[in-house]
Amino acid sequence: MLKKPELLAPAGNMEKMKMALLYGADAVYLGGKSYGLRALGGNFTRNELKEAMEFAHGLGKKVYVTVNIFPHNADLEDLPDYLRYLAEIGTDALLVADLGLFRLCQQVIPEMELHISTQANNTNWATVNAWHELGAKRVVLAREMSLKEVGTIREKTKADLEMFVHGAMCISYSGRCLLSNYFTGRDANRGACAQSCRWKYALVEETRPGKYFPIEEDDRGSYIMNSKDMCLLPHLKDVIESGVDSLKIEGRMKSVHYAASVTKAYRLAIDSYFEDPEHFEIRQEWLDELEKVSHRPYTTGFYYHQPDADDQIYGTSSYIQTSDFVGLVLSYDEATGYATVEQRNNMKKGQELEIFQPRGEGFRQELSDMLDEEGQPIEVAPHPQQIVRIRMARPVEPYTILRRDVQG
């Protein structure tokens, strides 16, 4: 009988972590201020890391910390102290990619569970078994694999396996990119990627400097390394039945709205499969949920075929979404029916709002009654993170998201 896989969500900061866990993640992965591969993702101070552990463990959930840079000598000087701190606060596992750093973890904090990052290019069962024999509990599989290959690895290893099911696709092999370093001096392999692959490029001929030619015959230029985003929710049955232990959502630099919406869509789908595997079907509302957040058009990546021209975007590097996140519920007063809301985008009376809750059912209502902090009626809430009170048609939970349809 298949074991229900863990749903693992990204957490770029404290708020995103809380939203991911409350909206259904079993575990989150996050980074401290050093040693992770998302230096621009917000990340956590030491005190915030401790708070994150306490919050997650209070829900019976887990936190994995990324220590997955490819370190130079200077990066190792303060690492032992940091590792001891992570163990002291109850970190559930560390994600590492470098062999020397892996060995250092084993020496400094021998009881810590270690997971091997996708950055280590884990594309075959021999590599997975080698890491497992060295003491790794889990291996995160590279994105450059088919589901058939994933199934073969499952048959040939006892290690826990983790695979990406949703999010941005890096143009470089398992994320090992040199473009950012070459163009900007920011080392992607030490956490400072400038996302050079998303820039707009043209061709320059050596004897005609300053004259730019489009690589494609298109006056908008060319996005030759601009991949579509991965989405495997429509194929979740195949993913679950491959036998992997953890399904990973990419996106520590994505929004709070993304963390909540994508996590809940996969949570509902996974739970639905295990309620009745034989009659499991993908529901349109789950797919609609994934369209509401900012994303590029979706692809299945390498899992069913080698990516081709249809898996790239050539005309634009912009994102699409069908909903805007406009407010976050801080509390709800049952006596008055008002919710205290922190504004996240311009809100005004007369707008139709969609109410998206961590556990409760969603619903829609018109924004017809809004008060400022002094209790005075207002027509519009234009100020960033303005605190307002809104009369709700039904009771709502804290951390409920208010959003509105994007106007086309």
State pLDDT tens for residues 270-289: 999 999 999 999 999 999 99
pLDDT of residue 78: 92
Q: Please name the residues in contact with 249: beta carbons below 8 A apart, sequence gap of 6 or more.
A: 7, 8, 9, 10, 25, 164, 165, 166, 167, 262, 263, 266
pLDDT at site 376: 95
Q: Averaged over 335-345, what is the pLDDT? A: 97
34-52 mean pLDDT: 80
Q: Which residue has the higher pLDDT, 334 or 207?
A: 334
Q: Quick one: which of 81, 103, 98 has its CA closest to 32?
A: 81
- The secondary element (H helix, E strand) that includes residue 107 is helix 99-108
Please state which of the ranges 90-99, 162-171, 192-201 shows the lowest mean pLDDT: 192-201
Position 224 confidence tier, pLDDT thresholds 50, 70, 90: low
Q: Assess whether pLDDT exceeds 80 at residue 55.
A: yes
Residue 220's pLDDT is 44
Q: What is the pLDDT of residue 177?
A: 65
pTM of the model: 0.87
Looking at residue 335, its pLDDT comes to 96
Structure confidence at residue 26 as a pLDDT band (50, 70, 90): very high
Predicted confidence (pLDDT) at residue 40 exceeds the cutoff of 60? no
Structure token digits, residue 53: 């552990």
Check pLDDT > 70 for residue 316.
no
Using the predicted structure, report yes or no on whether residue 181 has a pLDDT greater than 90: no
Quickly count: other Cβ atoms within 10 Å of residue 138's Cβ: 21
- pLDDT of res. 305: 81
Residue 323, amino acid:
S
Residue 299 has what pLDDT? 85
- Res 328: pLDDT: 97
Most confident of 176-190, 202-216, 316-330: 316-330
Residue 249: per-residue pLDDT? 96
Q: Which helix (H) or strand (E) holds 264?
A: helix 256-275
User: Please, are residues 403 and 324 in contact by the beta-carbon 8 Å criterion?
Assistant: yes
Q: Which tokens hold the place of 325? A: 């996140």
Taking Cα atoms as reference points, which of 203, 209, 195, 204 lies closest to residue 221? Answer: 203
SS3 content of the chain, % helix, strand, coil (to 5): 30, 25, 45
Quote the pLDDT of residue 212: 76
Q: Tell me, what's the pLDDT at 164?
A: 95
Query: What does the pLDDT read at residue 198?
Result: 65
Which one has a higher pLDDT value, 310 or 120? 120
Report the candidate in 406, 363, 372 with the shortest Cα–Cα distance to residue 390. Answer: 372
112, 94 in Cβ contact below 8 A?
yes
The fraction of the chain above a pLDDT of 90, given in percent, is: 69
Domains in the chain, start-ordered, CATH in brackets?
Answer: 6-174+226-311 (3.20.20.70), 323-405 (2.40.30.10)
**97's tokens:** 């990619």
For the cut 70, the answer to whether the pLDDT of residue 239 exceeds it is yes
Helices (H) and strands (E) in the chain — how many of each? Answer: 10, 21
Q: 44, 36, 38, 39: which is closest to 16 by C-alpha?
A: 44
DSSP secondary structure letters along 168-229: ---SSGGG---HHHHHHS--GGGT----GGGS-B-EE-TTSTT-EE-SSS-TT-B-TT-BPE
Alpha carbons 325 and 398: distance in angstroms, whole number: 15
- C-alpha span between 54 and 62 (Å, rounded): 10
Calpha distance 326→305 (Å, rounded): 38
Question: By mean pLDDT, which of 174-178, 220-224, 392-396 is the weakest?
Answer: 220-224
Mean pLDDT for the chain overall: 89
Q: What is the mean pLDDT of residues 382-387?
A: 93
66-70, 117-121, 241-245, 315-319, range with the lowest pLDDT: 315-319
